[in-house]
Amino acid sequence: MLATEPLGLSANQWQFLSKPDAYVEASTRSGRELVLESTRRQFLTAADILSRLNGSNGAERRRGLLLADDVGLGKTTVAALVAWVVASAGERRGIRILAPNDVMVRRWEEELLSHVEPLQKCAQHLEVRANLVKARRLNRLSAGTIQVVKHSYASSDFNLACDLLVVDEAHRAKGEGTAFSRALKRQKKHARRVLILTATPFSIRLEELIRMLTLIGAESAGGAVRTFSRALDDLYTGNTTRKQEDVATRLATKARAAVEALAGFVIRHGIDDLPAEQASFGARADWTVPVPAANLQEVELMVRMDRALRVARSDGSESLRATNDPRFHVGWRHFDEVREKLKSRTPQLAEPARAVVEGQLAAMRQLRARVGVHSKMAATGAVVKTAVERGDKVILFCHHHATAQELTVHLASVLPKVTPPSRPGVRDWRKAWERILAPAGSLDEESLRNTFIDWLCGDLIRARTGNWFGAAELAGDGLVAALEATPARHRLNTETIAAAAQRLYRTLLGSKSSRAILQAALDRPEVLPGGEGGSLVLGVCDPSEAEAEESLFIHNQQPDTVISVFNSPFGPDVLVVTDKLSEGIDLHRYCRCLIHYELDPSPIRTVQRNGRLRRVSSWASIIREPILYAYPAFRGTRDHRLVQIMKQRVDSFSLLLGGVQDFEIDDVGEADEKWRNEVVATAKARLTEAGGLLRAKEPKAL
């Protein structure tokens, strides 16, 4: 490992961080609206990180730090500011950023570039240029450059030598298995400083967290962290007949000791602990989906499937292992697929197993004909339909692709059909958009502009846009004026329809994958979300193989275009997604409604999902309505139990610094879970002040 030698920076080189007001103004002029209170906290955090990494302003010099702010607080923004200062000040140094996937690499690139113009105005002593950002290319670093690559590059033979290594979404180390951890351990000797970003420091497996602490030179905190981890394990796996007061006292004591040990190496803020910023995040509210209890026929279907699969498995059919698959409790598509698979395997079974399975299959066939649409899916569809009719966008998360497919198809069948008014005609709309969107500078870009205008003139977009200002009697100059003056989607929105279209067009052109989709849409308009033949709902999951359902799904592995369109007032109003979009993605610009249709067993995943909407300058804060989170539960099944436990554990998430464990529903008893919740509630009062020890500290002299 390299010695923690001085970086040679001067605190004067980040003096601009003491003037967030000027930076907000400069950003506004360059087209990026920032919230002053959030920018002030982010600047304070960046200054604290720089002081600790450099040993300035009375801070002890650190080899590395862990930034563990809540989801949605802007860890990427903070780290980007730190990266630009380290790269551009004094001797100019090389920075490497490891992001988990291609989508996040592109987001990092956008974030870094968004600071170029404001920094050029507010920190002229720094040498900040757009061409210093190098994304998706792994090579030797030139002075002052910032390289952004995927996590997987850490495992290459290439040495990640740099002055600052930034590891984003570090909890992904758990998902990467041990390879990523081994790679970081090997690479750490090549980085002079390390900055790790994760919203869930204690939700990483203990051995992973200890490796992270070792990476940043925080070995001294390891003992207290291990002790706290054992207390957490004891909470979730220990004897639940003990006195709650004793267990809560021990948990709180160990948690505080861990926080105190980490305070020099970890910075963490919680959204709910920042009252000055609450308005920009928006309030939260529970969203009720009235799912009826499972009826006798639905319960009988699941019981019969369980019985048939157990008999088939006992007869040696190893390909049919899952007997009580959680997907059976939230939809029928996977159930039907398994039923067909079982049917094809039945002739291979020996008697009497064959007769038993055949009897169960016959009964299931009759029951399925009577049951129809899954009760949870029907109830969710009704609630989503109401939300769309009142003008909201909705995102629904599923854990499995089969569930997401079925839900997408069902929503498409119940959402209102959009029919644009006959006036103004397509020709009038096209002329209006041609005047609003400036002509392109090349034939290639002119072709893309025409494709985008075609999309804006499609039935779905025209119908939605026209409803926002009543376009029936408008044409020519009047239509242009209305588009340029009318707020997009809501009267309290400051972005007009024309401005939103211009922003979306620039965003699509700025993305390589989105440009490719625009190009493809010239011949196949359906590939652009919300295009001709499109639907109000789009599934971002493995696409259905049914030809009739083809237009309801994204058919490529790059969701950038979908994200950009959903973050505009246009396009589909409903997204059904898997957890591929649960991390590092902004979905808050025009959406405030989120439904956890199907839950992952990990509370981390649920918290990450919620963070897609609760972010600075959320749509909820703009229209002054709360973010709505729904956890529909199919009562009378394991799905209901899963939802109950998940909501309780998510409530404990911030309190225990993310220290809540995954769980298997069959291993969690109701009485035991109630005991744990009461222990956590008792510990809460003792831990309220502990989290404050990890907040960014005001440097002694700036």
Nearest to 130 by CA among 77, 166, 93, 88: 88
Retrieve residue 225's tokens: 């962290």
Q: What is the pLDDT of residue 175?
A: 42
CATH class of this structure's domain 11-217: alpha beta
* Residue scoring higher pLDDT (59 or 386): 386
pLDDT of res. 47: 96
- CA-to-CA distance for 628 and 283, rounded, in angstroms? 9
CA distance 468 to 473: 13
Tell me how far the alpha carbon of residue 627 is from its chain's centroid: 15
What's the pLDDT score for residue 181? 66
Ramachandran angles phi, psi of 136, nearest 5°: 65, 15
Q: 150-197: per-residue pLDDT in tens? A: 888 877 777 888 899 999 987 655 444 556 667 777 777 788 899 999
Helix, strand or coil for residue 165? Answer: strand
Structure token pair of residue 585: 């993605």
DSSP alpha helices (H): ranges in 470-602? 476-485, 497-509, 512-520, 560-566
Asked if 660 and 203 touch (Cβ cutoff 8 Å), the reply is yes
pLDDT digits (tens, 9 = 90+) for 367-421: 999 999 999 999 999 999 999 999 999 999 999 999 999 999 999 999 988 888 7
pLDDT-wise least confident of 283-287, 458-462, 669-673: 669-673
Position 17, amino acid? L
How far apart CA 322 and CA 337 sit, in angstroms, is 13
∠ Cα 232 267 602 (to 5°): 40
* CA end-to-end distance (rounded Å), the chain: 31
Cα angle: 465, vertex 470, 475; to 5 degrees: 85
- Phi-psi category of residue 74: left, alpha or beta, with phi > 0 → left and psi -120 to 50 → alpha: left
> What number of residues does the chain have?
702
Residue 1 clears pLDDT 60, i.e. is over it:
no
Question: Mean pLDDT throughout 616-641?
Answer: 93
Q: What percent of the chain shows pLDDT beyond 90?
A: 54
| pLDDT tens-digit series, residues 514-541 | 899 999 888 888 888 987 777 899 999 9
> Would you list the domain boundaries of the chain?
11-217, 220-270+663-693, 296-375
ω before 525 within 30° of 0 (cis)? Answer: no
Q: Taking 60 as the threshold, does the pLDDT of residue 684 lie above it?
A: yes
Outline where 486-618 has alpha helix (H).
Answer: 497-509, 512-520, 560-566, 603-610
- Each residue of 110-154: pLDDT tens digit? 999 999 999 999 999 999 999 999 988 777 888 899 999 988 887
Q: Helix or strand or coil: residue 267?
A: strand
Locate 382 and state its tokens: 């009704």
- Report the pLDDT value the prediction gives residue 702, as an integer from 0 to 100: 45
Span 37-45, mean pLDDT?
96
Check pLDDT > 90 for residue 651: no
Q: Helical H runs in 192-295?
A: 206-215, 222-237, 244-262, 278-281
Q: Identify whether the C-beta of residue 545 lies closer than 8 Å to the C-beta of residue 406.
A: no
pLDDT classification of 203: cutoffs 50, 70, 90: low
Q: What digits encode the pLDDT tens for the residues 558-597?
A: 788 999 999 999 989 999 999 888 887 889 999 999 999 9
Average pLDDT over residues 593-611: 91
